[in-house]
Structure 1
Amino acid sequence: MSTIEHPHPRGLLSNAGFSQTVVASGSRTIYTAGQVSIDEDGALVGAGDLAEQTAQAMRNVGLALTAAGASYSDIVKITTYVVNYKPEHRAIIGKARAPFFAGVKPPASTLVGVAALALSEWLVEIEAIAVVD
């Protein structure tokens, strides 16, 4: 049986949007490829809209997890890459991502600003690691 714990380290900020530490045990670890804001036909979703692109990338993460028998609640680590990151982007991304972790403790999280992604119209790319039985 897999277990996921979220111990809060003394001395580190407590934030509702992510966990500082996640301890996971299980028999399978799932790594998703970086997911961007495209649909199953490869069409861009949310041109120029960081919030909508984040939501679509998260939907795509969910599809990848489902294919492996996992869900958002099984994610232990998520990394978000944002083109031309500015501090105000954090709130936009956090709000767009929050519904996917509603009712569960969020995973450990890293947000990285990058100069560009593989295609110029992509604003965000999200990859996840999940642990399941």
Structure 2
Amino acid sequence: MTDQTLCADTDRPTWPAVLTGFRGRCPNCGQGRLLHSYLKVNDQCSECGEEYLHHRADDGPAYLTILLVGHLMAPLLLVVFETWRPAPMTLFSIFALGCVSLSLYLLPRLKGMVVAYQWARRMHGFDKSR
């Protein structure tokens, strides 16, 4: 391992940054807001000045949201259907509302996690030493 790799691992720990990104905060200082609207990433942190222009979240947060919502709701749908046998419209209404609500809740948080992960791993221009 090179000295630069050791510095990169100790300087920016991944999990704390990802958890801070989930909360929608700056992965560098933990204070400034990462998003300025529902899914728009700020150009830089209002507290520490860290630039976010380098992020490449693209479709990653949407993919992760679909993955999580599908893996949570599909088994739940099966259990509810097998246990209570609700009317089809009742089942559809409850699970449609649940899927939409969970997706709207997770999407900005997962976007914050993806941007924070890129920052922690020094991806896409977040590495100042290059």
Q: TM-score, normalised by structure 2?
A: 0.27
More helix by share: 2
Q: TM-score, normalised by structure 1?
A: 0.27
Q: Which protein is bigger by CA-based radius of gyration?
A: 2
